[in-house]
Structure 1
Amino acid sequence: MKRILLTTTAVFAFAGMAHAQQADATAQAADASVTSSAFFGLLTETDNAAATVSGESAVANIETTGFLGGITRSRAEVGNSVVASAEGNGNNASDTGSATTGANVANAGVQFQVGNYNSSINMQVGTYQESAMVQIGNTNAGLISQDGSANEAAISQVGDDNTSALVQEDQDNAAAAAAYGNDNTAIGLQQSGPQNILAMAQQGNSNSASIFQDGDTNTAVSLQIGDDNASFISQGGGTSFVAEAINGDLFNGGLPTGAAISGSGVGSLGAISNSAASLQLGNGNASAILQTGTANEAINYQNSL
């Protein structure tokens, strides 16, 4: 059964608030949720973006704990039973992070950077490969590019002015990116589905996220908490993208900035049974979801707080 569901609730005092949304198409689901608890959310907050298809999932998670956000954590995980995982924690006095990958894979790569102005690139060609990346500090840039099927990638960033890019070619791939900080940019490209899944979560000001998926039965979810965020999800259509990597770099993205989608077919590739969800909490957000083909599901929720 196909279903599309949007819920938003608010409970006060010790319970805090919760915003959730879900889009389901056939056996896949895209979920985005925000929960806070204890004293109107001053002590804890958890932001989740999750995409699931055929028993596999991609989860991007951001947590703030301690009085008025004393500890922050950015976490991205993908795979069956979390095969590739990346987690970064920023707490002013001491920054810690971890990056892990699972066993029984062809190739596994882990990268961890603490400090300013770092950049990290990981490229893998083949099947059943895993990559996990953590960056803690300012002005970092992370790229994971994988060519082949059944690959998994996770990027976690804590700090200002970070950029993350996930580029995957072929089918049955999973990717997740989570960023805590200001002015972050995240780009995800998955080509030649079916059954690719991608999740992105960002908390901070002036963030932007662009997701492009080509093929059938793909699932994507974007979660943004903060001001002036922009989110664009395109499944089976235009406008635009480029992204190359391994490693001719490039990337780009498309819409919004006053988001306008027009034209017959909008570059349709005839994709079917895709699922997408976008959740934005904050001021001045812009969101666009483009799907071409049949039996697709999409949901968008925005709250200016």
Structure 2
Amino acid sequence: MFFRLLLLISILFSIPQVRAEPIVPGYQHLAGSPSSAGQVLLQELKCFPCHAADNPFPIKRKTPTLLGLRNRVKPGYLRSFLVNPNHEKPGALMPNLFHGWADAEREDAIENILHFLYSLPDEATKANGEGTEYDIAKGEEIFHTVGCVACHEPRRKPQRIENEFGEEIEWEREEPVKEKSASIPLPDLKRKTWLKPLARFLMSPYNTRPGGRMPDMKLSEQEAGSIAAYLLNGEAVSPKVMFEPYPDRIEKGQRLFHEIGCTNCHSSAGKKEAYSLKA
């Protein structure tokens, strides 16, 4: 029975679809082994926490921390992400929890959860230098040489140079990602965040994404800030409109956070309650 489940998930995931789908790095290399491919998908997509089935995999992938979310994600982006994760962040692994809801009901529910998430306490972070100026050109150079384009699409065109035979060729100092399916899309970063939290993430990605695949590149504060400035096209200011959570919506959002199964993957303030869907 379990093997059949693995096979079914592998087949369904391999069928070409027009709509966006989650991106699981390395999955495309398991096309010849449906059982292994299904196992990878079950683990990466975290199917078992929400479905009424015993989890045979002892290792669980950690999800992003929600603490301090208000200090690194803009409300407009988070609101749109909750409406449709894959539309706002192509390749997102989080499912659309509000699919099929009536518009008014979905809008109210998301607003309540947003207020709850923005009420969570801050995580302990080391503050970046206030008012530090970063070199955008240097950030562009680092982004294309330190290893970023091994997983993310290059953001500049390769240079054209002459080889030893006098032929004009394209040249990139680092080998870019080969397969489009293996590329990890970046969200609209200017819409999502601002310079200081992005620089902090680049310096210590595991602080907020403990189960993330992005490695710690051991960047200095100046290097991380320069890459962040480059990715944000020089936009360094934090949002001027601060989001103030309402107490009544916080309470409703916290209750809904448990009821629809968010705590199956994310930990939060309050008691964790199990929520299951039929497998």
Does the alignment reach a TM-score above 0.5? no
Give the TM-score of the pair, scaled to structure 1.
0.23
The structure in which a higher percent of residues are helix is 2
Bigger-Rg structure (1/2): 2
The structure in which a higher percent of residues are strand is 1
Q: Relative contact order (C-alpha < 8 Å, sep 6+): which is higher?
A: 2
